[in-house]
Copies of this chain bind each other. A is one copy, B any other.
């Protein structure tokens, strides 16, 4: 492929598709001239939207599809009978080497299942994981797994740690990002066996990974480590608990500032509040990634607007430009070889 990056877009997935999707694509096209888009979906709906949002004809090609994976379709059913869908066709373009990454705001389970089947798992990775970037007191945090695997063994947790390490490096440039294993106490004797086992394997990597030991639920938003590793059940619970708390806090604040004179007082803090809003705007952190696959597949939030869909596309572009998959493969074999050597020496 040339220097142009090709990103495939499932234009029909998400609550506000295809409008918000095409508007998001147009935003990215304006700021990044190196990207060309494949748009999968209903041409009759997409074409007028490209004109409306000023997406120039030389920046995209529409691949017309007639089928749509619905939000409540079961992943198994979507795989069986969704082969003509915009989602499937968009993923297949990555598998067949025509595109560098796929982005969809559609059904998460279906996107995960289809991505796994079409792209396949990186050799050496037992289970792919869902990763996302979250805001914290200390800056961005990469958390994984956020729901792909309800149960995990120690080896899965070790693989997630390695993938998180590479992902953080690719996204933020940090050479040796810190890694924490989510547990219910920081002592060595605490928590489930698979977590204690994963901890001792991770310690075996020595300097190669910046493993900091156990972290707890509060350490996610406090940013104690750059990467938080957990099974998909705890990770999903934590992620959603954070979302719920943020909504609760916002609701309480709105109530406190409801009287007219209180709202008048807000004017004095307007610049600080706008900065705060920008910093923790969940839309900026949109774009969950399926890591561990032989290809880049990014899930945008189902309720994405144009701005947040654009952020998800930008994540996909960053991963593609940095050859995330190749780097995970290389880092994995690198670390595995060294560990085997260490084990053999012992």
Contacts and interface: CB of A to CB of B under 8 A. Distances in A.
Interface string A213-250: 00011111110000000101110111111111111110
Contacts of A241: 217-218, 220-221, 237-238, 241-242, 245
Contacts of A220: 241, 244
A151 B234 CA distance: 12
Nearest to A217: B240
A275 to B, nearest CB: 7
A257 B266 CA distance: 9
Interface string A243-264: 1111111011101111101111
A150 B184 contact: yes
Contact of A275 (B151, B219, B256): B256
Contacts of A219: 240, 244
Contacts of A246: 245, 249
Given A184-B150, A234-B237, A245 B269 contact: no
A267 to B, nearest CB: 6
A280 B246 CA distance: 13
A136 B137 CA distance: 23
A54 interface: no
Contacts of A74: 189
Nearest to A191: B150
Contacts of A230: 237
Nearest to A108: B185
A234 B265 CA distance: 40
How many copies the complex holds: the figure is: 2
A33 interface: no
A224 to B, nearest CB: 9
A206 interface: no
A27 to B, nearest CB: 26
Interface string A148-160: 0011000000000
Given A184-B232, A234-B234, A248-B222, A256 B242 contact: no
Interface in A168-225: 182, 184, 189-192, 216-222
B218 A247 contact: yes
A273 interface: yes
Contact of A192 (B150, B217, B264): B150
A259 B275 CA distance: 13
B273 A256 contact: yes
A243 B246 CA distance: 11
A189 to B, nearest CB: 8
Q: What are the 8 A-B residue pairs with the smallest beta carbon separation, nearest first?
A: A265-B268, A217-B240, A218-B244, A256-B272, A262-B269, A217-B241, A221-B244, A245-B245
26 contacts: A182-B237, A216-B236, A217-B237, A217-B239, A218-B243, A218-B247, A219-B244, A221-B248, A233-B234, A234-B237, A237-B237, A241-B242, A241-B245, A246-B249, A256-B272, A256-B273, A257-B269, A257-B272, A259-B271, A259-B272, A262-B272, A265-B265, A265-B266, A265-B268, A265-B269, A266-B268
Given A221-B248, A237-B237, A256-B269, 10 more contacts: A150-B191, A219-B244, A220-B244, A221-B247, A255-B272, A256-B276, A257-B272, A259-B269, A264-B265, A265-B265
